[in-house]
A and B are shown apart, each in its own frame.
Chain A
Amino acid sequence: MAEQTPDAKQFAALSTESAAVVRRQSAWQRVRANWSVRIGGTAMLLLLAIAVLAPVLGTVDPTLFDAASRDLLPGKQGEIVDLDGETLRHTFIMGSDSFGRDIYSRVIYGTRVSLIVGIASALLALSFGICLGLSSGYLRWLDGPLMRVMDGLMSIPGILIAIALLAAWRASLLTVIVAIAIPEIPRVTRLVRSLVLTIREEPYVEAAVSLGTPAWKIMFGHILPNTAAPLVVQATYICAAGILVEAILSFLGVGLPPDIPTWGNIMAEGRVQFNEYPHNVFFPGIFLAVTVLAVNILGDGLRDTLDPKMAKRV
């Protein structure tokens, strides 16, 4: 061995394999450099700011109505009575509806509902899907029964499940979120399960087994962190779908009560007079479309940067 050591040193010096640390962009740097992420992310931040700052953006309470200010066209001035009974002069930037409510205020406050429903339903579907998917992928005896239940759930259109659930419960923010999340759970479960099945064959997981790492630590320490990238991407898609489904449910009249400002409710109310006052549907529609587009662009960007393999697959 002793006479081999100088040899080994000489080898190392000549070897083309660089001993220096390989420089590579971190995932975060790649994400930030992506234009889809920048555009979608900026739009989302803007919408979040609108939702948070709704009271100071020149709005009035979105439930206020005034019979004298019914069916105003966008930009018209009118009067509105606030909760203390005082009459205010107010410019109806987006006009008013047939109850004399300010559509601008309702659309701005509607952002809150949409974002909350979208994000919360994505998180809810994700957390249930992760638990079920991990169990299904790791506990082989549970896999068959659990996946058949998921297949059953997936065979019913998601919107029908949501309508049925809301018909059984009283519609509130919580029940709407749950009703939207439940049909998404099977999709997340399938994704997580397939990821677990791939990752558990990776040599580093096998190495952990031979290092005596307990099964639960392998699941949460080795497998789960490596599913993060595709799950983040999936979450954005669920979020977009959740926002849309919430609007559909409100529009159909099975979602949140009509006095709560949601984009779906505004459109449902404006639908009757669409020919005379198209702005009642137009403005919430624009907001809905832009929001869903922003979330999807963000998701596409994240998919391309976090999970190049998935980009090829989709």
Chain B
Amino acid sequence: MSAARNEQAQDPVLQVRDLAIALPAGGERAHAVNGVSFEVKRGEILCLVGESGSGKSVIAQAVMGLLPRQLPVAAGGITLAGEDITHAPRSRLRELRATRMAMVFQEPMTALNPVMRCGAQIDEVLVEHTRLDAAARKRRILDILNEVKLPDPERIYAAYPHQLSGGQRQRIVIAMALVLEPALLIADEPTTALDVTTQAQILALIADLQARHGTGVLFITHDFGVVAEIAHRVAVLRLGEMVELGTRDAVLKQPQHAYTKMLIGSVPDLHAHGRPLDAGAPVVLSARGLSKTYVDRGWLSGRREVRAASDVSFDIRRGQTLGIVGESGSGKSTVARCIVRLIDPSGGAVLLAGQDIASMPARRLRPLRRQVQIVFQDPYRSLNPRRTVREAIIEGPLNYGVPRAEADERARKLMELVRMDPGALERYPHQFSGGQRQRICIARALAMEPALLIADEAVSALDVSVQAQVLALLEEIRERLSLAMLFITHDLRVAAQVCDHIAVMSQGRVVEYGPAAQVFGAPQHEYTRALFAAAPGRGFAFGGRA
């Protein structure tokens, strides 16, 4: 495959020269991107990597000619297959999209029209840009559906998007993008919304298709695992400027720029950490046969049962972290919400300090509630936008009768513990970044002096460098306060870094449960092995642990 690539490598599909895109006046910086130059050759995958705010998506929009009016190209140029398209008229750009360049977005559900059959949506592209007759178009569509490895193309052709899985929908979007054989494919975080096993399949598909058709791919991602998996060359962006450009192995193994080093150092390693475990530590909370079944009784329809979690059992010990890993829909968050009693379990027991809280009435539960606290995934929705940080943190203690002065003092100390300026207490959540908000949420949970802290995908929405900081903070807090932690994540790397024990969940059941070293070192269950096999970037040692 590399020989074939070298032949065509001289021919750049996309050239971006000194591109600068202005931000509206009064923003944090003058340019969204500034002085960015790179090229994508035929049959090459160039990954644009960067954290949020790095300008990577803006570059994609600029190439597609989809920039909003407030963000004009201030300098530089974009050349697509020899044609300068920097200031091309809208009509020309419209022609070029689909025929010469195509884009795949992050969220396949919103990229597809929900009330149109999948076949008809691909057909639209062909009707617009080709002169094929109906029969030829249908043949072409079935071919491309076959090529993106969708089973039973005839059925998919007639299906609506909601009848397909997320991975299948993304295949439709890819089929739509590639049906006219464009020279350039722009993929903007195409696998971020997908589960890890689906992600592996989609990445393989993109690599396979582009190699076969010689398509140049501009692949935008924040995930170094994905970069390791798919990139030929990598461009690293920081605050709108390109800090490093090189081949995959050069950038990942010998990063030159301090920022790249920091980013790669922040990616957790896939090996379980080797912390010694105290087997005699007291059990803080244990779940015994915990299950949650949702029953849907319609007026006319029959009874429908959904088993979100069934027969889940585990122990969480003082000073240790239990990780629950699994893909979306595996029931891992259901378990967390049952334990906090945000929802009522339908069976089994949750033992906290010797008492079963699974079916305890609210009045008796109240004094026990403070022992179990939770930090959620979305830092932007976890704090009431109309309350100051102080009000958020002292709310819990005040509920349990702590005098106001003491609660204030506690809030001040906690801000220091989570490495924030106590002066921030009087500010409102919208004044903080995602990582800072997550620190505030941790402080709010700790204000209750809990015995168990649950982190429900608490670092999943954060950039990798911020994620590393928050993980380090959680580690430090667990150690210093001898907290028991329940860490729920879909990210095996994060789980490997922080967890002492791992429970792997699939379809509501725990399929494997044991010490992290054992689960990561010698996975027993078929599903666990599949999950690990799908983890992107296995071959690379991240986290500076080599």
Among residues of A, the one whose C-beta sits closest to the C-beta of B375 is A207
- Whether B239 and A16, one on each chain, are in contact in the complex, defined by CB atoms closer than 8 angstroms, is yes
Residue pair A212, B366 in contact (C-beta under 8 Å)? yes
Give A228's nearest chain B residue, CB to CB.
B386
Provide the bound-state CA to CA distance between A209 and B337, in Å. Answer: 11
**Residue A214 interfacial (CB < 8 Å):** yes
* Alpha-carbon gap, A21 to B51, bound state (A): 19
Are A226 and B342 in contact, with the CB atoms below 8 A?
no
Determine if A207 and B376 form an interchain contact, defined as CB atoms under 8 angstroms apart: yes
Closest chain A residue, CB of each to CB of B475: A1
What 1/0 flags go to A32-74 for Cβ under 8 Å of B?
A: 0000000000000000000000000000000000000000000
Other-chain residue from B424, B444, B466 in contact with A15 (beta carbon distance below 8 A): B466
Contact A206 B342 (CB under 8 A): yes
Let me know if B385 is at the binding interface, CB within 8 A.
yes
Interface of chain A, main secondary structure: helix
For A21, A209, A225, which residue has the most chain B Cβ atoms within 10 angstroms? A21
In the bound complex, CA of A17 to CA of B341 (Å):
34
- How many whole Å from A145's CB to the nearest CB in chain B? 16
With both beta carbons as reference points, the residue of chain A lying nearest to B50 in the complex is identified as A16
A8 contacts B469, CB within 8 Å? yes
Instruction: Fill in one digit per residue for B26-63: 1 if any A CB lies within 8 Å of its CB, else 0.
Output: 00100000000000000000000001011000000000
A202 within 8 A of B: yes
Partner of B370, one of A204, A209, A212, A214: A212
List residues 16-32 of chain A with CB under 8 A from any CB of chain B: 16-19, 21-22, 24
Q: Is the beta-carbon distance between A207 and B441 smaller than 8 angstroms? A: yes
Beyond A209-B342, A210-B369, A210-B372, whether A204 also contacts B381 by CB under 8 A is yes
Alpha-carbon gap, A24 to B385, bound state (A): 13
Q: Are B465 and A15 interface neighbours, CB within 8 A?
A: yes
- Given known A17-B433, A17-B434, A22-B433, contact A225–B396 (CB-CB < 8 A): no
Q: How far is the CA of A21 from the CA of B432 in the complex (A)?
A: 6
Pair A11/B465 contact, Cβ less than 8 Å = yes
Cα-based distance from A17 to B373 in the complex (angstroms): 27
Q: Which listed residue (A203, A206, A212, A226) contacts B396, Cβ 8 A?
A: A212
Across the interface, B399 reaches (CB within 8 A) one of A17, A18, A19, A213, namely A213
Chain B 373-386 per-residue mask, 1 if CB under 8 angstroms from chain A, else 0: 11011100111111
> B395 contacts A10, CB within 8 Å?
no
- 10 extra interface residue pairs, beta carbon distance < 8 Å, beyond A15-B469, A18-B28: A11-B468, A19-B433, A21-B431, A203-B376, A206-B374, A206-B376, A207-B382, A209-B340, A209-B342, A212-B400
Interface of A toward B, CB cutoff 8 Å: 1, 4, 7-8, 10-12, 14-19, 21-22, 24, 202-204, 206-214, 217, 222, 225-226
The 7 closest A-B pairs by CB, nearest first: A211-B396, A203-B376, A15-B465, A203-B382, A14-B262, A212-B399, A204-B384
List 24 A-B residue pairs with CB atoms under 8 Å apart, sorted by A's residue number: A1-B479, A8-B472, A14-B258, A16-B239, A16-B463, A17-B51, A17-B433, A17-B463, A18-B28, A18-B433, A21-B427, A21-B431, A204-B382, A204-B383, A206-B340, A207-B374, A209-B340, A211-B395, A211-B399, A212-B396, A212-B448, A226-B384, A226-B385, A226-B386
